[in-house]
């Protein structure tokens, strides 16, 4: 019987994508919780929850294990690899300024929408309540916040690794990456080491993600069995808010930025960018869309090959407006579920972490979840909350990837206008 189950699971693994298996894991977790709640004696709930908690803890523990090495190596490699483009300084400056501007707007929209619609507010999940007591959300004066930020960000990297201080680790990785970008030719072995470390971390993530369907099933089983059914309605509200806000950024904000800085009509832009945006929506991959993005920029929007060949590949790695918006909104959503009111300082830390997380973030769904854990942990929110977010990630990923690609194309047009 056990052999039959293993063979069946292996066949499912062959014929179903990881996203499909995660979705089925989420559905089965909710279904099993419903059946247990209605047909299993209450006295047996504690035993079932114990085993579900073991599986859930194993999955979350593995994610936390690989989080810091992956984030450190990906940021170092991502920044160091920019060395190849350092000869075009003006294009560099305009490109990074546009990336920073659109990402900041996206993060502000995500946080603003989460505040306005208060997604998750009033639904306190008992299983996450214990985390609220461990997070200091006291309000600090601007001078106190700045002093605390500097103290926590610029510290001994080994202490930061030991304490799991995400922001300090990211900042150290950023400096190491910049040093390699400037002097990388003098340290080829060190750069090779970081590249191989990153590849090794991605291999580990790939293995861990094979457990994701089981881990998500256990986490959702635990949540649904121990919480009330209002969670599903709250999740639907969160989906609507994120999709609506992402579409606002893509349909209104980015075309407005394009018109202000490049005087290009939104209709002209959408007519030329349509194939790339549709491909991004269908594939949920900026990297897979890149050839079509370049073709649309050069053939339909008349961007020079030099500019498009620099900005679009760089944007696929660094500029992720849709992802930044989603992660900012998700952090506030989780804080509301925990029953925690984040201070202004903590929201600023979320903004900074989301921006830094996009640097060198690997373009695969599993690594995207790891960076989501990073954003949550930067302000002490529970990593277990990814169980709520991961089942809906594929749905949201279609829209945010299209906006990610749109942001790269808008930046290409602006850079082409001002670098001519």
11 within some domain: no
* 371 pLDDT tier (thresholds 50, 70, 90): confident
Domain enclosing residue 338, as ranges: 18-419
| pLDDT number for residue 369 | 66
pLDDT at 224 over 80: no
Which of 92-101, 132-141, 213-222, 383-392 is most confident? Answer: 92-101
1 within some domain: no
* 130 pLDDT tier (thresholds 50, 70, 90): low
Q: What share of the chain is helix, strand, coil (3-state, %, to 5)?
A: 85, 0, 15
Nearest-angstrom CA–CA distance, 364 and 351: 22
pLDDT: which is higher, 81 or 194: 194
Q: Considering all CA atoms of the chain, what is the largest pairwise distance in Å, rounded to the nearest integer?
A: 73
Give the HSE-up count for residue 274: Cα atoms under 13 Å, Cβ half-sphere: 6
Helices 166-183 & 42-80 angle (0-180, nearest 10): 20
Q: What is the pLDDT of residues 141-171, one digit of tens each?
A: 556 656 666 777 787 888 877 777 777 887 8
Q: What is the CATH number of the domain that holds 136?
A: 1.10.3860
Least-confidence region, from 124-133, 256-265, 388-397? 124-133
pLDDT at 361 over 70: no
12 within some domain: no
2 within some domain: no
* 6 pLDDT tier (thresholds 50, 70, 90): very low
155 within some domain: yes
Q: What is the pLDDT of residues 49-59, one digit of tens each?
A: 888 888 888 88
| pLDDT number for residue 146 | 64
| pLDDT number for residue 256 | 95
Give mean pLDDT, residues 67-94: 71
pLDDT at 134 over 60: no
How many separate domains does the chain show? Answer: 1
Write out the DSSP string of 296-342: IIIIIS---HHHHHHHHHHHHHH--HHHHHHHHHHHHHHHHHHT---
- Beta carbons within 8 Å of 277's beta carbon, 6+ residues apart: 270, 402, 405, 406
pLDDT at 346 over 80: yes
């Amino acid at each position: 019987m056990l052999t039959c189950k293993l063979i069946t699971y292996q066949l499912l693994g062959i014929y179903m994508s990881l996203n499909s298996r995660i979705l089925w894991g989420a559905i089965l977790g909710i279904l099993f919780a419903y059946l247990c709640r209605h047909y299993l004696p209450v006295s047996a709930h504690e035993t079932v929850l114990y085993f579900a908690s073991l599986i859930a803890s194993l999955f979350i523990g593995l994610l936390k294990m690989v989080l810091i090495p992956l984030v450190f190596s990906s940021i170092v490699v991502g920044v160091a690899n920019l060395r190849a483009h350092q000869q075009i300084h003006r294009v560099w400056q305009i490109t990074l300024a546009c990336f920073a501007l659109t990402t900041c707007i996206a993060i502000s929209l995500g946080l603003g929408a989460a505040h306005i619609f208060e997604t998750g507010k009033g639904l306190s999940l008992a299983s996450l309540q214990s985390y609220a007591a461990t997070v200091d959300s006291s309000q600090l004066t601007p001078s106190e916040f700045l002093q605390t930020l500097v103290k926590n960000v610029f510290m001994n990297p080994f202490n930061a690794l030991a304490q799991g201080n995400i922001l300090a680790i990211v900042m150290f990785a950023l400096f190491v990456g910049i040093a390699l970008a400037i002097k990388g030719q003098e340290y080829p072995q060190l750069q090779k080491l970081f590249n191989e470390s990153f590849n090794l971390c991605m291999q580990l993530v790939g293995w861990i993600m094979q457990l994701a369907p089981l881990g998500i099933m256990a986490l959702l089983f635990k949540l649904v069995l121990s919480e009330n059914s209002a969670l599903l309605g709250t999740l639907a509200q969160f989906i609507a808010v994120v999709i609506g806000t992402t579409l606002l950024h893509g349909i209104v904000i980015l075309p407005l930025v394009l018109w202000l800085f490049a005087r290009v009509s939104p209709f002209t832009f959408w007519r030329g960018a349509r194939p790339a945006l549709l491909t991004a929506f269908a594939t949920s991959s900026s990297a897979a869309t890149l050839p079509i993005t370049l073709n649309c920029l050069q053939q339909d929007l008349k961007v020079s090959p030099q500019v498009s060949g620099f900005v679009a590949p760089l944007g696929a790695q660094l500029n992720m407006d849709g992802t930044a918006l989603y992660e900012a909104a998700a952090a506030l959503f989780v804080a509301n579920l925990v029953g925690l009111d984040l201070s202004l300082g903590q929201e600023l830390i979320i903004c900074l972490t989301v921006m830094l997380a996009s640097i060198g973030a690997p373009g695969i769904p599993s690594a995207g979840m790891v960076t989501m854990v990073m954003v949550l942990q930067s302000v002490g929110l529970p990593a277990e909350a990814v169980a709520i977010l991961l089942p809906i990630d594929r749905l949201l990923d279609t829209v945010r990837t299209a906006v990610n690609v749109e942001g790269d194309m808008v930046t290409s047009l602006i850079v082409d206008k001002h670098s001519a």
